[in-house]
Amino acid sequence: MSSSPETFSLDPSSSSSSNNPRPPLPISEYEVFLSFRGPDVRQTFADHLYSCFARSKIRTFRDEEELRKGEVIAPSLVRAIKESKIHIPIFTENYAASKWCLQELAQMVRCWKERKGHIILPIFYFVDPRDVRHQIGPYWEAFEQHSLKHDLETTREWRESLQEVGKMKGWHITKSSGEGAMIDQIFTEVELRLRTSHTLLVTDQLVGVNFHVQEVMRLLTQEFADERMVGIYGMGGLGKTTIAKAVYNKVNMHFDRCCFIENIRQILSENGGVEILQNKIISSILKNDREIKDTGDRIHQIKNRVCKHKILIVLDDVDGMFQFEEILGNIGNFSSESRFIVTTRDRRVLEFLQVYKSYELKEMSRDHSLQLFSKHAFRMDYPPEDYVNLSDEFVQVAAGLPLALKVIGSLLFQTNLIFWEQKLAELKEIPAAKVQERLKISFNELTYNEKQIFLDIACFFVGVNKESPIFMWSDCDFYPGSAIRTLVLRSLIRINEKDEFWMHDHIRDLGRAIVREENFRNPGKRSRVWSNKDALNMLMDLEQLTGLRYLEVRCGSLTGDFTEVLPNIRWLRLHDCDSIPTDMDLEKLIVLDMKDCPVKDSWRSWNSIKGLESLHTLEIVVCKSIRKLPDLSGLRELEWLCLDGCTQLTEVPGLGRLESLEYLSMAGCSSIKRLPDLSGLNNLTTLNVRKCPKLKELKGLERLEMLQVVETDKRLKVRHLLRSVARYGKRITRSVRGVLN
């Protein structure tokens, strides 16, 4: 182990585990598919409905009739229909006049008949459902024309699709209908339907959970005046979070709004923890990502807006630092139908919160323990006959703790009897109360590279998207692909649905304890430092920083010349800093992430950065002093470039020659007037130039075969983009907004 720290974080909010270094790359998955005839409702009802969905982060494919070319709908449209759970055809008087609308409808009905969870919610906009169902009036006239151009089999399928959907329950909008109220009804129904299909990720290795879930649900549904909270308590590693998630998945559709807040104990241990927690709750319930800085404003939002809904909030891993009234106000302000589920290791916390309905989660029974152990040790429910006795002994050693059963079982998977006997002897020497020591036997079996990655995740990257750390580890020759696979197979980490690293807090604490053991007295001699206090002390001695490969500083001030201070840095993250070093040597840098820092055109470190062939990620976000970036053409490996919120930025030299670039975002660069021809960005998949009012045109997009997502403002001209969509339609996975020509 290195005598000087490899990584550390300087952050008034302590650990970076709650910070995601970047949003994940856009996925080609939609929740809702809107089908409509453009001239009828594109600028009115369809646009209002789409905007309503977008504000609530519902991924919606809005079909644009201008994108339709040829006689049949493009593969990209077919895929979008198949991927979407909910299909919303907006029937208007002239809907049936469009052969593309009818083709889309037929595809929706095919998906619906396959019974794979697709839902059709029709809207009859100033048209009688009977006209749709029986093809009379304008629909009869449309089919008179179609019969002259299309074969009988095709028109028969279209007619049958209209008949089928015309019988379905939907919304009939007439002159007497209030469109705003109708859109609100549609949104409520769609959100409810999506919520029933979107469940929190729970491990597929569940054993004996149903009984606990039913008991908690029984408490949750009991009617007691003024009692809105239910508690789940028990020692760490028993599965309280798993039970809470399973309950949440079963009951969330009965509430107007829901949120599940994990790791509250850790959040509140950070500086500004109350603010972080309040903003999480407000954004989840009100569907608003705006971060509220003012304490009074947050309290006002909770009291006057959050409380008005019938809500379900799960507060996971609460300890004595949690003060309900400080964070959420008086519980009496909430609807009597609202419910809170609180999980904690300490029953006294529930007593302090006056939670009178609580459920104690105890150790697993012997039978359930054996089954869970076998699922991980043998990938089957019960052990083979010649392993029964040994398995029983391991189950006794694990003492009914699910986490220990998973980790120990995963360690023994596909190993021989000799290894089993050795590990059993080791475990028997460790007292039952020392859970971390028992988990450590799995860590001891890791290779050097696997240990480095495990410790990095435990100290810094829980809750962080995996992509940037993987690039850093690759540059350090840690071979992260195989190492991460091993850690997952050993049940030491998990990759969640957002491609973020997840680690049980017991295992995270184990990793941090291992690092502390490197030097109990002097944190500066450890390989990793995540404590803000320890990191501040280290900055007083710059010589201790030379071994760093990861450095994170938030709300700090770094002044002076840092030449030769960070020769091994791979990932530099500076957020909300009052000042930054005048000069740095960054020859090995893989990721540069700066947010709200006073970086300027004249920053001397640009000379070091602009020629970095190894740089993978460059994020210069909300840096309002910079007007012109250096020539970026030398960044041959750059894949991710984010310049959001750089309001004074007017020029990005070399941008058009970044052949490896996959993601480009310049949202909110309000001074940018022009960009170079982008036709050389052969690997670009995502482009975001929203809120760039002075940018009038984009050139070269028609040649970009890999381009999937384009986010623009309505008045921006994108030359030949519609032709590009027609040519490469199968690769377009999101509707292009605001294209005029």
CA distance readout (Å), 35 to 83, 318, 359: 14, 46, 48
**Quick one: tokens of 668?**
């909110």
**Quick one: tokens of 120?**
């059709």
Looking up tokens 């392993």 gives 387
- 450-459: buried (b, 16+ CB within 10 Å) or exposed (e) per residue? bbbbbbbbbb
Query: How far apart (Å, rounded) are the C-alpha atoms in residues 656 and 668?
Result: 20
**Quick one: tokens of 38?**
């453009």
200 Rama class: left (phi>0) / alpha (psi -120 to 50) / beta: beta
Catalytic residue among 6, 31, 83, 104, which? 104
Based on its alpha-carbon atoms, the radius of gyration of the chain, rounded to whole angstroms, reads: 29
CB 423 within 8 A of CB 441: yes
∠ at Cα 608 (604, 612), nearest 5°? 150
Half-sphere exposure of 84 (CA within 13 A, CB side): 32
> What are the φ/ψ torsions at residue 367 (nearest 5 degrees)?
-65, -45
> What are the φ/ψ torsions at residue 716 (nearest 5 degrees)?
-80, 135
Which residue type sits at 29?
Answer: E
Identify the DSSP state of 318. E
Q: Is 104 a catalytic residue?
A: yes
CB 357 within 8 A of CB 230: yes
Scanning 287-398, the segments in alpha helix (DSSP H) are 295-304, 324-328, 347-352, 366-377, 388-398
Identify the DSSP state of 544. G
CB 307 within 8 A of CB 335: yes
- Beta-bridge partners for 502: 494
Number of CB atoms found within 10 A of residue 274's CB: 18
Query: How far apart (Å, rounded) are the C-alpha atoms in residues 343 and 203?
Result: 18
Query: How far apart (Å, rounded) are the C-alpha atoms in residues 294 and 306?
Result: 17
Active site residues: 104
